[in-house]
Amino acid sequence: MNLDIDRRAFVASLGGAAVIKLMDHEGRADALEDYSIEKLDAAVAQAQGQQPAFPTVAELEAQIETRHSRRGVGSLFVGQGLGNENVKRLEALPEKPTLLDFFQKRFMPANHVLQSATRALKTGMSEEIILACLLHDVVQNLIKVDHGWWGAQLFEPYIPVKSTFAIRYHQTLRFYADQAAGYEYPDLYKRMFGVDYVPPKYIEATYKMVRKHKWYMEPRLVTVNDLYAFDPNAVVSIEPFIDIIGRHFKQPKEGLGYDNGPVAHMWRTIQFPDSPL
């Protein structure tokens, strides 16, 4: 079963039709993905008999100028739920945190990425693609704007180049159907954005480059799994991926955030989102 998106609730969550008119298409698409992930987490919590962490009418009344934060801010940094819920105290990470520590204490519930990686695993895709699926949206905990590029940057020093390529460009390929590869343009996008949807120039230019690239299928397969990764009844866990992470994720011995690498600060920001400076 796939997740139904209530169009009215979605439109309301963004601040109403008038606000949506002012957004560009890419912004609308990102908002939709973000909204779908939140709704999925809420639906899974409900299916498991818990109070939904993110009620389905999550941002129902929200309007840009009535919100305390912008839509593009990472989900770690704002209270989830009806829009005025307080943020929760976060569990401390160990001194030398690993990717698994971040998954368990910063990225959870992570239903969407776990579902998409599970599908990649079950359909026999390469380990680079499975890893890319597992990681493709987790940067949304840090920032949501242009999450393909941010996500690729966050992982680039630690994962295979093909996985980085897949994460960076899945954001672009969402808007371009490829029936031969099993990716249909989502009906939802047609309904939400209208049939006149034209991606912004930088996305079109990126698409042209990626379409001709020898690694085109890497991000393409991330989008294929993406379509099937909004199932509120799926039970998923990180366990099946521990070996793949072990084989392909170059865990720095100092811990993520402490290897003095180019993105160490990004990991520290995720570790300590409550730091004032």
Q: Nearer to Fe ion by C-beta: 57 or 227?
A: 227
**Residue 31: CB minimum distance to Fe ion, A:** 12
Q: Using H for helix, E for strand and C for coil, what is the string for the chain?
A: CCCCCCHHHHHHHCCCHHHHHHCCHHHHHHHHHHHHHHHHHHHHHHHCCCCCCCCCCCCCCCCHHHCCCCCCECHHHCCCCCCCCCCCCCCCCCCCCCHHHHHHHHHCCCHHHHHHHHHHHHCCCCHHHHHHHHHCCHHHHCECCCHHHHHHHHHCCCCCHHHHHHHHHHHHHCCCCEHHHCECCCHHHHHHHCCCCCCCHHHHHHHHHHHHCCCCHHHHHHHHHHHCCCCCCCCCCCHHHHHHHHHHCCCCCCCCCCCCCCCHHHHHHHHCCCCCC
Binders of Fe ion in range 196-235 (CB under 5 A): 226
Q: Which of 137, 218, 231, 259 binds Fe ion (CB under 5 A)?
A: 137
Region binding Fe ion by CB under 5 A among candidate stretches 5-13, 56-64, 131-139, 194-202: 131-139
Cβ at position 111, least distance to Fe ion in Å:
11
Number of residues near Fe ion (by CB under 5 A): 2
Shortest Cβ 229–Fe ion spacing (Å): 6
Tell me, residue by residue from 87 to 126, as one string, x for binding to Fe ion by CB under 5 A and - for no binding: ----------------------------------------
Interface with Fe ion, residue 30, by CB under 5 A: no
Which positions lie near Fe ion, rule CB under 5 A? 137, 226
